[in-house]
Amino acid sequence: MTKVLMVCLGNICRSPLAEGILRSKLDSSKYEIDSAGTSNQHEGSLPDQRSIEVARDYGLDITNQRSRPFVKEDFKRFDHIFVMDTSNYEDILDLAETQEDRNKVSLILDKIFPGENESVPDPYHNSIDGFKQVYEMLEESCSVIAKEWDKS
Ligand code: 4NP
């Protein structure tokens, strides 16, 4: 079983979409996908209504998800940790204790813009269009991930 964690700040806008999208592309008997936030501010909450709506427009139901904070044990539990932006990257690396932990962490947009240090913009204060743009970026990155892994 390969275990994948998607991480953003609140775990209500971007990483729930990333979790739902990647889950829809991979075989659940081989891949476990989860998501978490660097902050615990929204712990226990449903994804943001705008993420729920955009996901639904693309045929995905993400209403089974609830926000939870990232915990240090996640480094041991997961094989890959995809972060949405450079600030999440710094926050997660600050919690890493070993090089093995650090090696698990990467920016999700590296999959489509390798080496460019690109971030998925935080859509929280944006309109629904910002959420659609986030969805499309994540869809592209998750397609690359699924293609790479389906071959291995
Ligand atoms: P997310 O978006 O990190 O994609 O879940 C945000 C959600 C909540 C806040 C900021 C970003 N907030 O400031 O409450």
- The pLDDT score that the predictor gives to residue 151 is 64
Cβ partners under 8 Å of residue 34, min gap 6:
3, 4, 5, 6, 19, 78
Q: Is 14 a catalytic residue?
A: yes
Q: What is the pLDDT of residue 70?
A: 99
For the chain, which ranges sit under pLDDT 70? 151-152
Question: Strands, E, within the chain: which ranges?
Answer: 2-8, 31-37, 80-83, 105-107
Which of 12, 19, 54, 68 has most ligand 1 atoms within 8 Å of its beta carbon, as the pocket-test mutant? 12
Pinpoint the alpha helices (H) of 69-112: 74-77, 86-95, 99-103
CATH of domain 2-151: 3.40.50.2300
Instruction: Reply yes or no on whether 13 is catalytic.
Output: no
CB 26 within 8 A of CB 146: yes
Q: Is 68 a catalytic residue?
A: no
Structural domain boundaries in the chain: 2-151
Pocket of ligand 1 (CB under 6 A): 8-14, 41, 122, 124
This prediction's pTM:
0.97
